[in-house]
């Protein structure tokens, strides 16, 4: 749970607190859903968890192997969840890019850049 839930919650919460308590803000075009999706990637960092496993079970090989397996499985779960979130965000931005490049009148200028009646 620490890798899959706690690390992303910590990263996202710190980003939110930073934007509320300082002059920092999200870049134009970046939504909190994007921060959430990237925050989920924090769960794949397992090096400290593996180090703590080594220190916690120096003499019990069976427990150490079980703990290492749990850490690696949790990292894989976090990576899968983050991948789903990032694929969803990528589809959203791909749809936006397609809408911006649309040129129905085939004049070489994207319709979003043209002014006129009905636009």
How does pLDDT run across 91-108, given as a tens digit for each residue? Answer: 988 988 887 788 777 787
Q: Which domain holds residue 90?
A: 2-102
Which pLDDT score, from 0 to 100, does residue 69 have?
Answer: 93
State how far the Cα of 35 lies from the Cα of 48, in Å rounded to an integer. Answer: 23
| Residue 108 forms part of a structural domain | no
Mean pLDDT of 53-79: 91
Contact 113, 99 (CB under 8 A): no
Comparing CA positions, the residue from 31, 49, 45 lying closest to residue 78 is 45
Residue with tokens 């965000």: 89
How does pLDDT run across 49-60, given as a tens digit for each residue? Answer: 889 988 998 888
- Number of domains comprising the chain: 1
| Residue 85 forms part of a structural domain | yes
What are the backbone dihedrals phi and psi of residue 71, each rounded to the nearest 5 degrees, phi first? Answer: -65, -45
State how far the Cα of 77 lies from the Cα of 8, in Å rounded to an integer. Answer: 13
Mean pLDDT of 11-34: 92
This prediction's pTM: 0.73
């Amino acid at each position: 749970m620490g890798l899959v839930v706690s690390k992303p919650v910590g990263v996202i919460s710190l980003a939110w607190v930073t934007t509320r308590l300082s002059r920092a803000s999200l870049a134009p075009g970046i939504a909190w859903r994007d921060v959430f999706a990237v925050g989920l990637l924090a769960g794949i960092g397992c090096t400290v968890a593996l180090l703590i496993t080594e220190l916690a079970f120096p003499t019990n090989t069976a427990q150490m192997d079980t703990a290492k397996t749990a850490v690696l499985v949790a990292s894989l779960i976090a990576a899968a969840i983050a991948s789903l979130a990032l694929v969803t965000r990528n589809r959203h931005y791909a749809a936006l890019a397609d809408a911006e490049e649309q040129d129905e009148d085939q004049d070489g200028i994207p319709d979003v850049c043209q002014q006129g009646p009905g636009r």
